[in-house]
Structure formats: C-alpha cells, structure tokens
C-alpha cells in the first residue's frame, strides 16, 4: 500500500489564538461535489502506526498557528473537529475532509457571555459549534475523543483524565456568536455555589458536593469557609467524626431518614456493622466528595464515593440475607470502580480523610452543607 509522507509545510505563526478557520487551502463547492465519497482516509505516521480516519471520528487538527509536523505540540494548541464526510479524487489523491469544529474557551474568550460568572472554561474544555469547514486531510494530526461531563448528575461520571478533552454540552452558534448552555436551561437550572459562579476545572479552589436529595449542589470550599452569616459552614467536630457523618450524606435518603449504622453487627451474625465490612470500602464511603483544583481531577471522586456509601448501606441493612454475596460483589464491582480513578488521585484523597481523632492533615476542614447542614 502506498504511503503518504507527513507534509512538512512551514506556515507563518500568528500571535493570537484564532477561531478554527484554516485558510491555507480552499476548495470550491463545485470541486467538492465532484469528488468521490471515501469510507476512510489513512494518514501515514512517521512515529506510530498509520491513523485511519472515518466519519464520526473526532480528530485533532493542526492549527494555522503551528507549523505542520512540529514535534509533540501541546494538546491545548491543537484544534478539535468531528469528521462529517471524507472525499477525494482517489483514496490517496486530493483527499478532503468536511469537519464540524469544537471551540475551546480560548476561541470564544472575547465573547460577552464569557464575562458572566456562570461561564467558566477549563483549558481542555470544548463546546461543539455549528461551524463546518472542508479542510485538506493533511491538516489532520491524530484521532481524539471529547468526553461528556454531566455536571448535574449525581453518578454516571466517566473519569476524565487530565489529558482528555471534555464538554459540558455548551453549543456555540457561529453566526450569532451565542453560547447555548443546556446546563442553565430554565427547566433544569444548574445549582450554583453561594457565590453564583460556575465550576472552573482549572481554578485553584476545590469544590465539595452534597449528594443529598434536594441538594445535589457543589460548593467552593473557600466559599463555605469564608461564607458570611449564617456561615462559615463548618461542623464543630473532629475529622474522624466528620468522616462518620459523611456516611449519612447520600443521594438516596435524607440523613434524618436513615438508621444509624452500627460499628459491629449482631452477636448471632445476622447483621453487619462497619467493622465487619471490607475496610477499603468503608474508607472510601467516608471520604469528602471533591473535584477540581488540579489534584482531584475534573470530575473528582463523586461516583466512587457515592457508590461506596450505597454499598455500605446495602451491606449493613438489617434484613439483607444476601449480605455475604453482596460484599463479594462489592469486592468485584468496587475494584472496577476503583480502576476508573487513578490510583494516585485516590491515594491523595485517602490521606486527607480523617481516619482517627489524631488525623494529621491540617488541611482537612469539617465542612457542612449550607442547605441541609450535613457533613460534606
């Protein structure tokens, strides 16, 4: 199969990030319509295997601001687009790709809506646009994916690696330069922190989550600590006690509806207590739910902790004859869940959770939810 070398064009650099509007080559509608539809196109790669692009792939695209062929360009400098269709004179001759662009926060930074504190964009956060272009396939760099972050959901979060693109489902209308933010749809408004600002995944301040029914709200730790009356929102207890209270902050019951979970089960073994459970599970269930500030990741540990708490309730429920099978199931399913969170991130969280009354971490703050007053 003939191989096509990576083009080595050098293009002038521009000073400022521009909207994705490749200007180096253009194709007329007449020529595009005359080309053959192709099922895929193959980009020869000097360093790795060839990359085969098909419709519905998401591609990294060389921006006009970078010379083609630059070694290891920073991810946030590359453009991102969905491939809509591929056409060419033949499989390896005069191949063009119709793409739909993803815009980054940099691309729309001048937009007036961006001054609204509800809008924050992380460095790898993207919004899909209605901007379509036909570009030469040599502009493609590699395949990528854009993960969806459902900020309003209590669970069902795919862990987002620090090198992954993600979207909170903003849509950018290129003709009107308007953002459509479904997160702030009037029928399903995003619950914002006390400060009214949305989550900035690259910001310095971590956010804490209250998963209780009716709350499901993220709060900046800083806003809870420095909150005006009736704040600050801090429980007067030790980190260890706080960890125990965190068990009762869950998405399925309000804390006052839950029965106490005993430390030990019944003498006859018919019920389980916390000390009878797998302690990895218990430690995770007692963690604060945190995201952001670099170390906790874009999505944070929400799904891991919420699921761990649910397993604790299931296992300790008094009339559950299948508890031993259920604990075995946790050890299988829970390990899968743990795999989703990078081990080192999980370990960082474990070191700050209060294991005992003499918890050493000064950074542990016994926060409470401004709405329901449970530990968060």
Residue with tokens 């036909």: 134
Closest distance of CB 48 from Zn ion, Å: 43
* Of residues 107 and 309, the one with the C-beta less far from Zn ion: 309
- Cα-Cα-Cα-Cα dihedral sign, residues 107, 45, 54, 162: negative
H helices of the chain, in order, are: 29-34, 221-225, 239-246, 279-285, 302-316, 323-340, 343-352
Select the span of 28-36, 77-85, 182-190, 209-217 touching Zn ion (CB under 5 A): 209-217
The yes or no reply on residue 150 touching Zn ion (CB under 5 A) is no
Closest distance of CB 261 from Zn ion, Å: 19
Select the span of 57-65, 80-88, 334-342, 362-370 touching Zn ion (CB under 5 A): 362-370
Out of 143, 164, 314, 371, name the contact with Zn ion by CB under 5 A: 371
The yes or no reply on residue 212 touching Zn ion (CB under 5 A) is yes
Please tell me whether the peptide bond between 230 and the residue prior to it is cis, using omega within 30 degrees of 0.
Answer: yes
Contact yes or no for 193/218 (Cβ under 8 A): yes
What residues between 162 and 201 interact with Zn ion by CB under 5 A?
A: 193, 195
Select the span of 4-12, 126-134, 155-163, 206-214 touching Zn ion (CB under 5 A): 206-214
Closest distance of CB 231 from Zn ion, Å: 11
Task: Return d(Cα 49, Cα 43) in angstroms, integer.
Answer: 9
Out of 223, 261, 306, 353, name the contact with Zn ion by CB under 5 A: 223
Out of 134, 160, 215, 221, name the contact with Zn ion by CB under 5 A: 215
* CA 290 to chain CA centroid, nearest Å: 13
Closest distance of CB 43 from Zn ion, Å: 44
Contact yes or no for 50/137 (Cβ under 8 A): no
Contact yes or no for 48/31 (Cβ under 8 A): no
- Cα-Cα-Cα-Cα dihedral sign, residues 327, 332, 333, 338: positive
Question: First vs last Cα of the chain: how many Å apart?
Answer: 59
* H or E element that contains 338: helix 323-340
* Of residues 200 and 346, the one with the C-beta less far from Zn ion: 200
Query: CB neighbours (10 Å) of residue 99?
Result: 26
* Of residues 108 and 289, the one with the C-beta less far from Zn ion: 289
Closest distance of CB 256 from Zn ion, Å: 12
Per CB under 5 A, residues contacting Zn ion are 193, 195, 210, 212, 215, 220, 223, 369, 371-372
């Amino acid at each position: 199969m003939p191989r096509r070398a990576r083009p080595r064009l050098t293009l002038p650099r521009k000073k400022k990030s521009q909207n994705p509007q490749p200007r180096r080559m253009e194709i007329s509608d007449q020529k595009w319509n005359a080309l053959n539809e192709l099922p895929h196109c193959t980009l020869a790669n000097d360093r790795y295997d060839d990359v085969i692009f098909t419709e519905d792939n998401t591609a990294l695209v060389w921006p006009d601001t970078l010379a083609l062929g630059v070694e290891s360009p920073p991810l946030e400098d590359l453009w991102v687009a969905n491939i809509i269709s591929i056409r060419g004179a033949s499989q390896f001759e005069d191949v063009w790709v119709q793409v739909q662009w993803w815009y980054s926060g940099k691309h729309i930074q001048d937009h007036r809506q961006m001054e609204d504190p509800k809008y924050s964009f992380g460095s790898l956060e993207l919004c899909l646009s209605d901007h379509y272009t036909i570009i030469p396939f040599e502009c493609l760099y590699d395949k990528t994916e854009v993960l969806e972050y459902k900020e309003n959901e209590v669970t069902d979060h795919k862990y987002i690696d620090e090198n992954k693109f993600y979207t909170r489902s903003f849509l950018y209308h290129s003709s009107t330069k308007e953002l459509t933010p479904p997160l702030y749809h009037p029928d399903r408004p995003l619950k914002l922190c006390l400060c009214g600002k949305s989550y900035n995944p690259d910001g310095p301040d971590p956010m804490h989550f209250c998963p209780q029914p009716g709350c499901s709200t993220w709060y900046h730790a800083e806003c809870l600590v420095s909150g005006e009356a009736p704040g600050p929102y801090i429980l007067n207890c030790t980190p260890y006690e706080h960890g125990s209270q965190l068990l009762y902050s869950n998405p399925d019951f309000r804390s006052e509806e839950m029965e106490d979970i005993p430390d030990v089960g019944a003498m006859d073994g018919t019920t389980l207590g916390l000390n009878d459970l797998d302690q990895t599970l218990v430690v995770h269930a007692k963690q604060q739910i945190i995201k952001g500030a670099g170390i906790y990741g874009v999505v944070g540990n929400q799904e891991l902790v919420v699921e761990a708490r649910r397993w604790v309730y299931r296992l300790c429920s008094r009339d559950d004859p299948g508890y031993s099978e259920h604990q075995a199931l946790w050890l299988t399913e829970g390990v899968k869940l743990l795999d989703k969170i990078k081990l080192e991130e999980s370990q960082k969280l474990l070191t700050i959770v209060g294991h005992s009354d003499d918890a050493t971490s000064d950074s542990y703050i016994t926060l409470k939810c401004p709405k329901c007053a449970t530990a968060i």
